[in-house]
Amino acid sequence: MRDSRRKCGVVGVSLDTIVGMQMTDMLATMTRDRRKLPGLAGPARVDRDTSALLKRVRAGDVAVLDQIDLDRPTADALVAAGAAAVVNAAPSISGRYPNLGPDALLAAGITLVDGVGPDVLRGVRDGTRLRLHDGGVFAGDRLVGRGVRQTVDSVAAAMAAAKEGLANQLEAFSANTIEFMRQDRALLLDGVGVPEVRVRLAGRQVLVVADGSDHVEDLVRLRRYIKEYRPVLVGVGGGADALWTAGHRPDLVVGDPAEMPDRVLTSGADVVVPAFADGHAPGLHRVQDLGAGAVTFPASGNPEDLALLLAHHHGAGLIVAVGFQATLAEFLDRGRSGSNASTFLTRLKVGGSLVDGKTAAELYRAPVSAAAVALLVVAVLVAAVAALAVTAVGPAVLGHLDRAFDSVFELVAGWVNP
């Protein structure tokens, strides 16, 4: 049996030791070389399906996707996940209309390289460590794609040019509106298909929360409103979990159950699942597997609009919407242009009973509390006593008050101890 500690030219130094030293030096050199490489690096998360990708992105990841006209909801989800950078195979702003996603990414400090081309989706494996530098996408030293690194100035210029495409978008919107009205006019005009729910909505204020722009911040600002008025809390999709996280238990949830955690679906809230015209409701089986009940809502509108129609049809006195788009740019930037007709006609149907959450938070003023009134009274009394103490008539007035207090005290003592 040979000695495993073989000598190699140098007395007392084994071959294993020399090999170990060489490997250590090699790893140290590779580490130094990697540190010298310029740019931003992180593990890749790759998927053509943006919805599936958003569920897998973690802090520090480089999200590799293929989405033309990157919309604001997608950008907000990437920001919330903590993505370090985004590599888009398609142009993030095509010029069809001024979409808001790229600006939201840059405002959050996320690097955006777009127009890289579809080959990057085939050439990069999930988990590969990518490095972004000057518009190039590298896997180590190997260039796997090259695009345009967007800046605040480049996005602003592209957005200004994209405004010229609004006319075409509005024409397409008009056609979609006519088609939606043809399909769902019975729902809009007469409420045909609106399901019954257990929670009472008639005459009550209703707060509907979707997972749109700034919905978490708006919920914080509406905290005192919720505490005082106790509105019916309706969560739409991820908005249901936002309510729960903020310390509120939703009374009604609307949307795909796949977007909601088990704790929400089994909390006792009424669950309404959007369905196709033939009655098929994706995700309904998940609610049933959890042992919870649910009703379906067959319509072609998106879940946010169905929630508003549900509250309006059942007689809600006031509907406060949080996380819903409010401006023309947000309206067109939803990434779901086919549902804009539903949104437009729903707003017309709901009418004056709908209030934007930001507006409600701005206008709401909590009533003065009893503690504040008592503090004000004490402050006035202290000020009065101080004023009397420094005036010529002060001692006489204070003496009179002292004698009056003694008389009242003696009278009450006489009643207690006759």
pTM: 0.60
HSE-CB for 52 with a 13 A CA cutoff: 8
Tens of pLDDT, residue by residue over 3-47, are: 444 444 444 445 555 445 555 555 544 454 445 688 899 999 999
Instruction: Return the percent helix, strand and coil in the chain, to nearest 5.
Output: 50, 20, 35
Distance of CA 2 to the CA centre of its chain: 67
- Kindly state the DSSP code that residue 392 receives in the 8-state scheme: T
The residue ranking higher by pLDDT, 325 or 244, is: 244
d(CA 355, CA 205): 11
Q: Which residues of 306-340 are buried (b: 16+ CB within 10 A; e: fewer)?
A: bbbbbbbbbebebbbbbbbbeeebbbbbbbebebb
> Which is higher by pLDDT, 101 or 351?
101
What does the DSSP assignment read for 46-82?
Answer: E-S-HHHHHTT--TT-EEEE--SS--HHHHHHHHHHT
Going by pLDDT thresholds of 50, 70 and 90, the confidence category of residue 334 is: low
Please, which residues bridge with residue 135 across strands? none
- Which tens digits make up the pLDDT trace of 352-386? 889 988 888 887 765 556 666 677 777 767 776 67
Tokens coding 292: 């919870």
Residue 110 confidence (pLDDT): 97
Q: Which residues contact 121 (CB under 8 A, 6 or more apart)?
A: 46, 48, 64, 66, 89
Q: What angle do CA 201, 202, 205 make, to 5 degrees?
A: 65
Beta bridge partners of 149: 113
Average pLDDT over residues 238-257: 93
Q: How confident is the model at residue 9, as a pLDDT?
A: 46
In the chain, the percentage of residues whose pLDDT exceeds 70 is 75
- pLDDT above 90: percentage of residues in the chain: 45
Model confidence at 210: pLDDT above 50: yes
State yes or no: pLDDT of 62 exceeds 80.
yes
Average pLDDT score over residue span 116-139: 94
Residue 4: per-residue pLDDT: 46
Considering the chain, what is the average pLDDT of its residues? Answer: 82
Q: How far apart are CA 376 and CA 370, in angstroms?
A: 10
Most confident residue range from 212-221, 229-238, 279-288: 229-238
